[in-house]
Amino acid sequence: MQHLSIIVPNGENNLSSIVGSYKIFSRANAIRKSKGQKERFKIELVGTSENVDFYDGLFTVKTHSHILGIKKTDLVIIPSLNHNYEKALKDNGPLIEWLIKQYKEGASIASICTGAFLLAATGLLNGKSCSTHWSVDTEFRQMFPRVDLKTDKLITDENGIYTNGGAFSFLNLIIYLIEKYYDRPTAIHCAKVFQIDLDRNLQSQFSIFNGHKKHDDTTVQQAQKYLEENYNDKISIESLSKKLNIERRTFDRRFIKATGITPLDYLQRVKIEAAKKSLENTRKTVNEVMYEVGYSDTKAFRTVFSRITGLSPNGYKSKYNKES
């Protein structure tokens, strides 16, 4: 029997991702047992504290074992953290060291949502792809610049390290792991019992572009403001750089350093965010929305929209506009 360690970090964390992981893996074990097979995992909640309080003491999680009592584990799940990441990392130093040790000894590690901050603090994600909640894109990039962050992805799987996007999308990661460690029929059974959509692999359609404003480059901030206020006009990035008295190559470099994306990608994301809102809340056709946000080429608009959201404009409207 293999060992599954579901981490219960110190501090205010996300209770649902701990309980949800425990319940679904327990159900997968029960399915195997009902077929006369041995359970795949011994499942334990582990940490450095015997009890961890949640939501100002409204709930308390009692761990099964201290991490020092777990000499060898096969799969580790890190739940979503609170949003005070520096404090969370400081409060869980021994966990970070334990994760490094377990990975080096052959364990796989999966992080849920902002649990990626704890995983990234180990250095194990350096040079690897990673997903987390789209809303913390900027903070994560600033803290861990050596990680290849992909917030459009719902799940990443690389060298025994799994990460996933935000909030309740962790359920898709757990089903993914169930299929990997059990089998497809067990994953389907669990997905039906817990009513989880199978095979969803993007979180792009759920993201809200927030502009990556947490930086100190005032010139880039001016450029961002200009792009956001004039996105429906024909904007030349070359002309904008001249307007700001910056050589184009230098402008691109500074913009990428401050925001994590190019000025052109920023402009496209501003346009698509405006298009999404219009498709959600108005009766306008896709073509009307396209012209409204500054596109005149139908193919170009559909290509950019699909790349950023993971859905076609019509598909997005059908899904999120209740009148359609």
Give the CATH number, domain containing residue 101: 3.40.50.880
User: Can you list the residues of the chain whose pLDDT is less than 50?
Assistant: none
The pLDDT assigned to 324 comes to 60
Are 196 and 240 contained in the same domain?
Answer: no
pLDDT in tens, 169-210: 899 999 989 988 998 889 889 988 998 877 665 555 555 577
The pLDDT assigned to 165 comes to 86
Give CA–CA dist 130/155, Å, rounded. 8
Domain range for residue 111? Answer: 2-206
Q: Which of 157, 182, 206 is the last residue of a domain?
A: 206
The pLDDT assigned to 208 comes to 59
Are 180 and 231 contained in the same domain?
Answer: no
Give CA–CA dist 16/169, Å, rounded. 11
Give CA–CA dist 135/73, Å, rounded. 32
Report if pTM > 0.75.
no
Q: Which of 160, 184, 206 is the last residue of a domain?
A: 206
Inter-residue contact 6 to 67 (CB < 8 Å): no
In a domain, 299, yes or no: yes
In a domain, 324, yes or no: no
DSSP H helical segments within the chain, as ranges?
Answer: 15-34, 85-91, 93-104, 115-120, 137-143, 170-181, 184-194, 218-229, 237-243, 248-259, 263-281, 286-292, 298-309, 313-320
Are 195 and 223 contained in the same domain?
Answer: no
Are 132 and 51 contained in the same domain?
Answer: yes
Tokens of 234: 């024909």
Are 43 and 192 contained in the same domain?
Answer: yes
The pLDDT assigned to 206 comes to 58
In a domain, 212, yes or no: no
Q: State how many domains the chain has.
A: 2
Are 297 and 150 contained in the same domain?
Answer: no
Are 181 and 132 contained in the same domain?
Answer: yes
In a domain, 81, yes or no: yes
